[in-house]
Structure 1
Amino acid sequence: MSRPKKRRQICHAEVAARLRNQPDVWGEVGEYPGLKSAEDVVRRIRTARQAPMYQPAGSFEARIAGTELYTLVFARYVGHTAAVQVLDERPATPPATHIPSGRDCDRVLGQIARGEVQAGPEGARRIAARHQEAYGNAVWGPGPDPDAAWADALAGLSTGGAE
């Protein structure tokens, strides 16, 4: 069994200097084995937290692009005029040079954004109503009659529960 290929170390000081020399141009920061580590790098680039080479906070934008094997991080320098700290913003669409992702989560998030997937209680009610309309009682059967259920419970009590 062979050992996994060691990931190339990324020199963020060099990346930041290269991006500063080409303002507003997206450049590749590096490859990351997992989405979580890539999201952490994006957050550090945007906020300059624990990454002083990207200071001041907000002077760089960063994006994620997924592939089947790893996650790419892209960034660009937008200058000191855009130095606004962004903490909880979800990564926007990757730059046009990204490699299309084949991950299921990207596909599902796109479907939700386009309204093709309904989620939450309201979505469940709409789906159930659509199925009831299409299939009638063939799927779930008629709803329980609350009066009959109450009568059965009382009858069970009067007979001592024995049938």
Structure 2
Amino acid sequence: MERRADNLAFPAIVGTYSKYSSSRKLWDDRYHNAHLDRLETVKPVVDNKPPRTYLHCHVNMKKMQMEQKRQMDIERDNRLLASRIAMPRNVRKTSNHYQPKPSMNADIRNRELVRISLENQAILMKINLRKPVYDHKMYQKDFKITQEYMSRLQNNPPNTGAIKRV
């Protein structure tokens, strides 16, 4: 609730009914309107913005430098290891020219492998030439009939709760 007496130009202690009351009312209204205008243009005194952020507080440069140095050391070690692996050391040339003797059963094993492959091909040809026993059209027809029975049962359920009287 607004208290009008706070904005009066000359607050009266005792009410007056003189010829100056109309001019006094003009003065009071003018001061009151000026007061309302000043209230509209008031700016806040309290700073409610977030504090300034400084880069050095959020980024740890020393940590980044140490991490970079560590990565460089790892890369250098990897390069050294790769070069050591690529270049064989102390390779002795052997004068051992051992050739394993051919197996006596190698020919027999190869013939057996060819025979088994031919048998498998013959069986596959028989399977491919055989007509299928499974008739999918018949199964589809049976499924439609079953679906029709189920829909009839849903529309007209059997009366299983009836009591038989003898």
Greater per-residue strand proportion: 1
Q: Which has the higher contact order (CA 8 A, sep 6+)?
A: 1
User: TM-score when scaled to structure 1?
Assistant: 0.20
User: TM-score when scaled to structure 2?
Assistant: 0.20
Greater per-residue helix proportion: 2
